[in-house]
Amino acid sequence: MSRTVIRGGLVITATEEIRADVLVEGEQVAAIAAPEVAEQWVPDADTVLDADGHYVIPGGVDGHTHMQMPFGGTFASDTFETGTRAAAWGGTTTIVDFAIQPVGGSLREGLDAWHAKADGQCAIDYGFHMILSDVGDDALKEMDALVAEGITSFKMFMAYPGVFYSDDGQILRAMQQAADNGALTMMHAENGIAIDVLVQQALAAGRTDPKHHGQVRHPLLEAEATHRAIQLSKVAGAPLYVVHVSAAEAVAELSRARDDGLNVFGETCPQYLFLSFDDLARPEFEGAKYVCSTPLRPVEHQADLWRALRTNDLSVVSTDHCPFCFKDQKELGLGDFSKIPNGIPGVENRVDLLHQAVVDGHISRRRWIELACTTPARMFGLHPRKGTIAPGADADIVIYDPNREQVLSAQTHHMNVDYNAYEGKPVTGAVRTVLSRGRVVVDGGEYLGQAGHGRFQRRDTCQYLI
């Protein structure tokens, strides 16, 4: 069994920051000890990694990605191979992607299709949520079987009528099933029926530019759907996780529900924290790069998101990584914003952007780790194997240089997409070394990983309930 010692770093977890060395044996963390104790590990080590002046943090857990997702007549441009490699470059060592139930088909068909895309391709570990796009008796029964095999969370859409949309009755029934089988319901909370009316009105009036995507997806329609999802989950007695929260008014709904002691959780994404409606309103169709749903909001919403991240009214930051190239893919919506495939790339940038949030004073270092690693691992039943550095945990570890300056750019990123949403943004801090289950996959600007190293993770049910 290989032995690696990580020496001289500041080990940061969600709960503590200690000067300590870490012993990795095979795929797992064997011990953490003060440097004078750890000294004795060195003679027997195969590899000694010097982390002096660096942070030693758990690998990131990104609970919301869409590799190769079919959407808007095209596919997200990262495959599981390219997307997980980019994730590794950015210090993320586990993703949970979304398998999709085909309309008229079974959950099993959807899951098999996603295994076929991902198995043997991933550079880092991965799991699946399941998107329910056709809730009926059969799908409800199938949910139990999926939970038993580690697919313990199910996403439904109150948006996208005719594509993934579920009506309130379907949502309630799926939530009732989840209350029985322990699954977590994830919700895309936007009133898609009302939004579609506004889309048609905008197009009929000749308002076709990307910025109108943001205007028709009104914050109140996110808040209304969030409120409705909360009430339905309360009726069903099931926990609820609202994905990609962007509107201050939706945050207020979550805060109220959490004040009432409900098992209601919220996720936001870096794009809502660092980008805004101004990006969506960029001229010459450039705003198409920033079309995602929920949409980017006016910059005033960001203060509420940051506050909620500090108070835990928002508990997780995932990327919703769903890349489409500007050329040929985003361009499908030239002259009609409703045809722009929805999604923003970011799986490689999340850990750095959240470190920038530490530098900017929005969150503490431990909260950085909690939001990016530990809580998503607990939320999605991966903890303590993932999301922390502790004896017995998988040795998914990042050696992070908190002082290195970098500029985010498509010129240097590894995601398979022709633009970077944060192009030109200077950030302080950068990943130096990444271990995935004990294996060094990135080191000092060199990629040492391999497609197929990543292993499918059977997940437990949510470990974050009150």
- The site for ligand URP (CB under 6 A) is made up of 66, 188, 244, 292-293, 320, 322, 342-343
Query: Dihedral, CA atoms, 14, 16, 17, 21, nearest 10 degrees?
Result: -100
Subset of 105-134 contacting Zn ion (CB under 5 A): none
Residue choice 62, 190, 320, 348 for contact with Zn ion (CB under 5 A): 320
Nearer to ligand URP, 65 or 375 (CB): 65
Identity of residue 162: G
**Could you say whether residue 97 binds Zn ion (CB under 5 A)?**
no
Q: What minimum distance in Å lies between the beta carbon of 394 and Zn ion?
A: 25
Q: What minimum distance in Å lies between the beta carbon of 82 and Zn ion?
A: 18
Nearer to ligand URP, 214 or 438 (CB): 214
Half-sphere exposure of 215 (CA within 13 A, CB side): 16
Report what 142 binds from ligand URP, Zn ion, none; CB cut-off 5-8 Å by kind: none
**Could you say whether residue 217 binds Zn ion (CB under 5 A)?**
no
The pair of structure tokens assigned to 453 is 């190293």
**Could you say whether residue 188 binds Zn ion (CB under 5 A)?**
yes
List Cα–Cα distances, 225 to 184, 193, 228, 243, in angstroms.
Answer: 18, 11, 5, 12
- CA-closest candidate to residue 332, choices 272, 281, 278, 291: 291
> Which residue has tokens 């949970």?
96
Nearer to ligand URP, 217 or 355 (CB): 217
- The site map against Zn ion for 275-304 (x = CB under 5 A) is ------------------------------
Other beta carbons within 10 angstroms of residue 456's beta carbon come to: 14
Name the closest residue to ligand URP (Cβ): 342
Report what 292 binds from Zn ion, ligand URP, none; CB cut-off 5-8 Å by kind: ligand URP
253's CB contacts (< 8 A; 6+ apart) are 223, 226, 227, 230
For 105, the 3-state DSSP assignment is: coil
Q: Is 86 in contact with 78 (CB distance < 8 Å)?
A: yes
Q: What minimum distance in Å lies between the beta carbon of 293 and Zn ion?
A: 6
Report what 135 binds from ligand URP, Zn ion, none; CB cut-off 5-8 Å by kind: none
User: Which residues contact Zn ion by CB under 5 A?
Assistant: 188, 320
